[in-house]
Amino acid sequence: MSHDRIAVVDFGGQYAHLIATKVRRLGVLAEIRQPEDPIEAFLPYKGIIISGSPSLSSHGEDQDYNKAIYDLDVPILGLCFGHQEIAKHYGGEVIHGGREWGPADLHIPEEHPLFRGLGPVEQVWMSHYDSVVSVGPGFRELGYTLTGGKPHRFAAIGSDSLRRYGFQFHAEVDDTVHGTEMLRNFVLEICGCRPSWSMERYLEEAVERIRQQVGNESVFLLVSGGVDSTVAAVLLGRALGPGRLHLLHIDNGLMRKNESAQVLARFRELGLGEHLHFVDAGATFLKALEGVVEPEEKRRIIGDTFVEVFQATAEELGIAHHLLGQGTIYPDTIETGGTRRADVIKTHHNRVPIIEEMIRQGKVVEPLAELYKVEVRELGERLGIPQDLLWRHPFPGPGLGVRLLCNRGEPDCTGFEESEPALARLAGELGLQALLLPIRSVGVKADLRAYEHPVLLTGEAPWEELLRAATLITKEVPGVNRCIWNLTGHHPARATPLAAYVTPERLDLLREADAIVTEVLRTHGLYDEIWQCPTVLVPLALGPEGGELVVVRPITSERAMTARPYPMPKAALEEIRRRVLALPGVGGVALDITSKPPATIEWE
């Protein structure tokens, strides 16, 4: 059946995704559209929501979007930046000023369908520099906020005849206490959408769609063993029966300790062992990565080798003519959609050219392509997949390859003359010792890839102080995107880069360190609290004894678009420090204390 749908115009990654998730929770299928999409792309929708953005409406930023959406005869709701754009488009004024930050009380002077069922004062959440100071003809103020007794006008605006509305606050975040009700009022009442989308429905329809697409053919699915490929496998098995499903697991040599064996065992337990194929391609990957140190180059090689290996293996097994199954999820499709806004922060390898060509030929089955991670997990639960499989930490496709930093043994001190004085001054103020490290890691600043230096901080300070120091340093010191906190106690005079490449020995060392960290998280009851915890091997010697630096990065996150460092309890940190330092080849241990942005979750 066809579902009523809402388009969410994406002016800024995480906001748009959050809106879409919340609308889906109301039972209405929300889909992300790009601001420059042609008007035809907006025709199937019963309403449009324009997201917030890091851009400033008052400065005319991000103006080259498709304004023909305003000519469509469907309701439109703008949130934050979207609110300001609607005000401006219909003759109102937006200025740079009137900034509000955090919770605010929204006063709703008169009843309106958007606020049906809510009180006269509602707590909302603000995060804006620009404000609407006047509205055009036909528009009126539906709500204002009071901060320190001073009104901030036009916190909510609307024109019922045009069916255009705007909220200065973020109705999509949980801190807007009744934000979901406001979105429900817009989507169900004002747009008139029928809620028909649920996971149960999705499951029935997905099974039907798979059967139709596959017909009498078979599917072969690449399975890393992560949540997405596991759910995709069980779903395809449900639709086609295990006899028509071939699973291929490739050990790329960059897996965690004992991982491939466990993955194979799990698929057998899930009743999918009938055509379960395995290839140990570790040697092929290692050979291809020999002597390579540059992160994007490593990613490209891992991606290309993966395609070569799976094609050759499929030929050998005689399954190459089957349709190719992939566990691609919704954000993967969006993020590789080639939008003008998306800078290549990291190359993900689920949409390489050869696979795109197969998609065009209709030879690819992607049964999860419309779902978010939380929805994939919910679907997995409906399919009866055990909880511990569904709640495993995400693991990137290129595996430990992006957690094993490589170096030619040459210091990279680009921009140190500019960074060092600023860092010395700040560190003094913060009461911490700071060392700029002569290597770089990937980060993201203002939505752009930032390949910059980490800073090692040494000293005792409460957790909140450490986080504040990391935020200040990455903000104020040019060329720095990451801070790590030294767990070994003494402040090193220098950090010396070691010549280090992708080798079996280094991979084994990283595997051991990673296994220790995972075990500590489990035994201390932290595994489920933490969203992901990369363990990274950094070829830097902090003292005369040599040995590499191991960095642990526990974070919390909802969608991986943003992340916060997790406050690790002392006992768990101490156990990690002690056990990892005892590994031969390790000379230092540190904790990554940077949010995303400015540092990405992975180091490469």
Contacts of 208 by beta carbon, 8 Å cutoff, 6+ apart: none
Burial 93-110 (b: 16+ CB within 10 A, else e): ebeeebebeeebebbbee
Q: Which of 54, 195, 394, 567 binds ligand XMP (CB under 6 A)?
A: 394
Q: List the catalytic residue out of 100, 141, 172, 181.
A: 172
Binding part of the chain for ligand XMP, among 34-42, 187-195, 309-317, 341-349 by CB under 6 A, reads 341-349
Q: List the catalytic residue out of 128, 152, 170, 246.
A: 170
The 8-class DSSP code of residue 558 comes to S
In the stretch 169-208, what mask flags binding to ligand XMP with x, by CB under 6 A?
A: ----------------------------------------
| Three-class HEC string of 348-380 | CCCCCHHHHHHHHCCCEECCCCCCCHHHHHHHH
Residue 560 interacts with ligand XMP (CB under 6 A)? yes
Contacts of 338 by beta carbon, 8 Å cutoff, 6+ apart: none
The residue among 24 and 351 lying less far from ligand XMP, judged by its C-beta, is 351
* Phi, psi at 580, each rounded to 5°: -70, -40
The 8-class DSSP code of residue 401 comes to G
3-class DSSP state for residue 336?
coil
CB of 263 to ligand XMP, least distance (A): 15
Q: List the catalytic residue out of 17, 80, 141, 193.
A: 80
Binding part of the chain for ligand XMP, among 84-92, 107-115, 309-317, 390-398 by CB under 6 A, reads 390-398
Residue 506 interacts with ligand XMP (CB under 6 A)? no
CB of 595 to ligand XMP, least distance (A): 11
Q: Which of 166, 327, 396, 539 binds ligand XMP (CB under 6 A)?
A: 396
User: Can 59 be counted among the known catalytic residues?
Assistant: no
Please count the other Cβ atoms lying within 10 Å of the Cβ belonging to residue 440. Answer: 21
Query: Which H or E run contains 32?
Result: strand 29-33
CB of 431 to ligand XMP, least distance (A): 30
Whether the bond between 597 and the residue before it is cis, its omega within 30 degrees of 0, is: yes
The residue among 413 and 530 lying less far from ligand XMP, judged by its C-beta, is 530
Residue 452 interacts with ligand XMP (CB under 6 A)? no
Q: How far apart are CA 54 and CA 38, in angstroms?
A: 23
User: Can 170 be counted among the known catalytic residues?
Assistant: yes
Please count the other Cβ atoms lying within 10 Å of the Cβ belonging to residue 325. Answer: 28
Whether the bond between 598 and the residue before it is cis, its omega within 30 degrees of 0, is: yes
Q: How far apart are CA 10 and CA 50, in angstroms?
A: 7
Q: Which of 266, 298, 348, 440 binds ligand XMP (CB under 6 A)?
A: 348
In the stretch 511-540, what mask flags binding to ligand XMP with x, by CB under 6 A?
A: ---------------------x--------
User: Can 294 be counted among the known catalytic residues?
Assistant: no
- Tokens 């329809």, residue located: 205
* Phi, psi at 593, each rounded to 5°: -120, 30
Q: Which of 83, 128, 244, 349 binds ligand XMP (CB under 6 A)?
A: 349
Binding part of the chain for ligand XMP, among 56-64, 211-219, 323-331, 596-604 by CB under 6 A, reads 596-604
User: Where along the sequence are the contacts to ligand XMP (CB under 6 A)?
Assistant: 346, 348-349, 394, 396-398, 532, 560, 596, 600-602
> So which residues are the catalytic ones?
80, 170, 172
